[in-house]
Structure 1
């Protein structure tokens, strides 16, 4: 086993580099993944979808030169747990404590004597030679420990208690997210990806940004989770991409990556743009039960946007009045993120900065509206 640490990142390598610990909720709501499964959309089907995504008609403005993090990193400290202790905490990996299961392994809930709750990820046997990239940062699920012993590969992370973003968009937790909550979640996710791309010691490409990989705290802060497909990005001078097999989830995958096997940080930007549309519309990227004109959400939404019907894109559960200029700006940003060519997409740093400005102006408008009541 090899362990490398930096100021903001743990890199844990178990003998060889292969992806690990994708997960899904126990309700079976995981989206199909492009990883060779029989129930996945094929690469040719995904290419057919991606080729029809329209380019944004608008130019990307220049990014301001300064970027600062809005919140300090969390102070959670690493744990020193033995395999025997973990077995005891999970009641020998009891099914009653399992909170998720995915392609690479199962996730268990465990509670320490001091009341802290942990998530313990246990690799399946075929994936026990694996690596994990986990980070210490506010908007990324945090690594607290790991175990490599007796043919067990366990990763211990913080437990994020309020479910996934997708569950909340589906109303599974009883309350629907308001526009301001959705905007804050979008900003949190953009912060997390900006850290991965720009502020980690080496650029990290998540490769599986999607709503079921965004966990929410009780205070509705968003954390990017599941680094099973994560890869270090280009590190050589002048290098902008790496060549690798396609991994990700149908509907979120960068069409250029799908077509060429060339992965860049802009591949995450594309996935984020799809996620932003999902946050605003409530629709999944691929709505298999809808008619042909509405099945691919990005195409349906862009058609509405081109006609000036941006309010029709919003989730019907969002009944509050939202200024049309705010909607145009946020949808414009989403469509720039999903531009078919990478050169037309902004960097995540710019995405954060533009969302900050949208939030600032939205807040001002809300205050003015309250004063006029």
Structure 2
């Protein structure tokens, strides 16, 4: 199935890249608009009555150091907190297992992820791997590990609770609000920052391997956090090494076709997945739309055909009622299609992606200012 999905996935490419001299991943540059500035402009422009309010500012590379020590919860305590893993407290379910909401004595709410018994043996490596990687990373755009239990026939992860569901749920309209264009751009930047940290600034390079909309969690302020590190791998650490050889893991529609073909994994495999995610954020479509006509089933091919014909507005999610400048759309789709280039050498690094999205965000703020002036004149 993977081969059929990806052999003809990407006919794309070769737009000219922009050179990013600034480094907004690390520090705010003086010619960038802040989130609060952009929000103050966009809130005065008529848009969908269901538009989600923009997020507050978030420029720093990582979150403030946690004042909380790692949780040392016993299995008995976890059972009590979850009311013996009551279905009423279940908030999600994935390949690894079921996720439950629990409130600690100090009032903190956490997520408790319990491994499925039927996959217990096969998930041993994923469980140990996720713990090893999450223990050593902390970034505001990555879900934080708070504790874990590996005892007897129970394997449990305890992480921060991200309360507003998954990105995919919001794109499907399951939470009753429509994500506006500005909000989608902010989410894309959040995810780009998180992946940049994993690739460049973690103690060792980390490749997530399963970047997808259902693994992007949103909090009440609509800040995005990358979750589920069960498939993540430490990347190449030697200067002369650019890839590692490993069995293919990931989700159909998001997997790097070069990795799928060769079993050679690099940080550029995450870049490909991110490009697919960026198209999903903008179009609202899943990577593979099995119920659509043959010409529209592979979203990246359908979108690239529209892009080539200059019909970028046709790619946008029809639930978006805002009018977005076509030049802005061309720039952001140019980033997306470079990310999903068939060969990894033609893909940008995530740091460059984050920088370019910041520039697009600045340009978008300018278009909102011009629209505000026109509205008031």
What does 1:62-141 correspond to in 2, within 5 Å?
Answer: 62-64=19-21, 66=23, 67-68=25-26, 70-71=59-60, 72-76=62-66, 77=68, 78-124=70-116, 125-126=120-121, 127-128=123-124, 130-131=127-128, 132=130, 133-134=133-134, 135-141=137-143
More helix by share: 2
CA 87–196 in structure 1, closer or farther in 2 if over 3 Å, else same: same
What does 1:216-365 correspond to in 2, within 5 Å?
Answer: 216-365=218-367
For 1:62-97, what per-residue CA distance to the aligned partner results, in whole angstroms no more than 9, with x for missing partners? 332644152241444222222221111011222222
For 1:146-184, what per-residue CA distance to the aligned partner results, in whole angstroms no more than 9, with x for missing partners? 122333221110010100000100110000100000000
TM-score (norm 1): 0.85
Structure 1: gaps (5+ residues): 1-41
- Corresponding residue of 2:45: none
| Runs of 4+ with >4 A deviation | none
Give the root-mean-square deviation of aligned CA atoms. Answer: 1.4
* Range with greater deviation from structure 2 (86-95 or 272-281): 86-95
CA distance in 2: counterparts of 1:74 and 1:158, whole angstroms = 15
CA contact (8 A) 1:242 1:264 kept: yes
For 1:196-227, what per-residue CA distance to the aligned partner results, in whole angstroms no more than 9, with x for missing partners? 00000100000000000000000000000011
TM-score (norm 2): 0.84
User: How many residue pairs were aligned?
Assistant: 330
CA distance in 2: counterparts of 1:240 and 1:161, whole angstroms = 37
What does 1:111-190 correspond to in 2, within 5 Å?
Answer: 111-124=103-116, 125-126=120-121, 127-128=123-124, 130-131=127-128, 132=130, 133-134=133-134, 135-190=137-192
For 1:294-350, what per-residue CA distance to the aligned partner results, in whole angstroms no more than 9, with x for missing partners? 111000000000010000100111111111110000000000000001111000000
Structure 2: gaps (5+ residues): 28-58
